Amino acid sequence: MALVTSGSGAGPVINEVEMNGGADPSATTVRATVVQASTVFYDTPATLDKAERLIEEAAGYGSQLVVFPEAFIGGYPRGSTFGFGISVSIANPKDKGKEAFQRYHAAAIDVPGPEVTRLAAMAAKYKVFLVMGVIEREGYTLYCSVLFFDPLGRYLGKHRKLMPTALERIIWGFGDGSTIPVYDTPLGKIGALICWENKMPLLRTALYGKGIEIYCAPTADSRPVWQASMTHIALEGGCFVLSANQFCRRKDYPPPPEYEFAGFGEEPSADTVVCHGGSVIISPSGEVLAGPNYEGEALITADLDLGEIVRAKFDFDVVGHYARPEVLSLVVNDKPQLPVSFTSAAEKTSAAKNDSIAKSY
């Protein structure tokens, strides 16, 4: 695995830190790694094994924060149309697409679940903050999610992709405002948005409003123009941006006919690159600290000088001195949007509260 570091060379590495573990308040540098690597498609146990090897390697370089690509656990179904490549018609079911979805559903993970427990154990073993892209399974619906873990081995929570793109809407459900977290850690305030939802100005503003400092952007977009979006976000938010993407060849997916690629004219050869990566780390001033890498699987690592955040905010604080709330403001509905609720549950909660009040007298 190649290590790609920032061009500035060796900056200071902070001593090992733990969530709420009394981090050195004078420490101002964080070593962070974005992972550029492919899922072992349809093989979640093997993907978890690969994730652990990559985390161990990153920790060996002194990294305190490790960020994985979108859908690393569970896989990004690149090239698959799930039977909807020609026409979208419920009256003409695409049986092959349904079989593909069944396999994809089996590769997803429950949150919480045994795979989450294992990821938490990895974060604890290698003493890193871990940001992991997964395909989350809740019943029979899948979500593209990011999970957060601390160095004590605690699962902190998740972000569900609010707006899947194009054919993603066939296979993934929609997140809501209840999973747009920013975690206040000894390394800084960490949060994430996934792929093209990073283009949603109001969603970004919600993270800025929570004070995000280390902005993680797992993605599946390897086009050069993606770099412009990442640089803009770093400048707009006055934050570090860490974008992780997979580097994949056709051979990283199952062979045909088990898995067929669309959009290439003909079935690509085993060594054809189907996702070129482009993972990158950018400073609040817009400086590229490491990457973008389009060469292969790699660990892209840089030292983040947290003092740069304050220096960037001097010029532009998007939700501070550069805001005009009397003209423009944002209201975020952060309540879970449940399709089914039961009045009896609310009545029991209310009764329990009333009983508690009565006992206090």
Torsion over CA: 212, 205, 181, 223 (sign) = negative
- Cβ 310 vs Cβ 214: under 8 Å: no
Question: Residue 212 is encoded by which pair of tokens?
Answer: 């995000």
How far apart (Å, rounded) are the C-alpha atoms in residues 15 and 24?
8
Name, in order, each residue with C-beta under 8 angstroms of 78's C-beta and a sequence gap of 6 or more: 220, 248, 253, 261, 274, 275
How far apart (Å, rounded) are the C-alpha atoms in residues 129 and 132?
10
Question: Residue 235 is encoded by which pair of tokens?
Answer: 């400048």
How far apart (Å, rounded) are the C-alpha atoms in residues 154 and 123?
8
Q: Which of 70, 136, 168, 297 is catalytic?
A: 70
Is residue 70 part of the annotated active site? The answer reads: yes
> What are the catalytic residues?
70
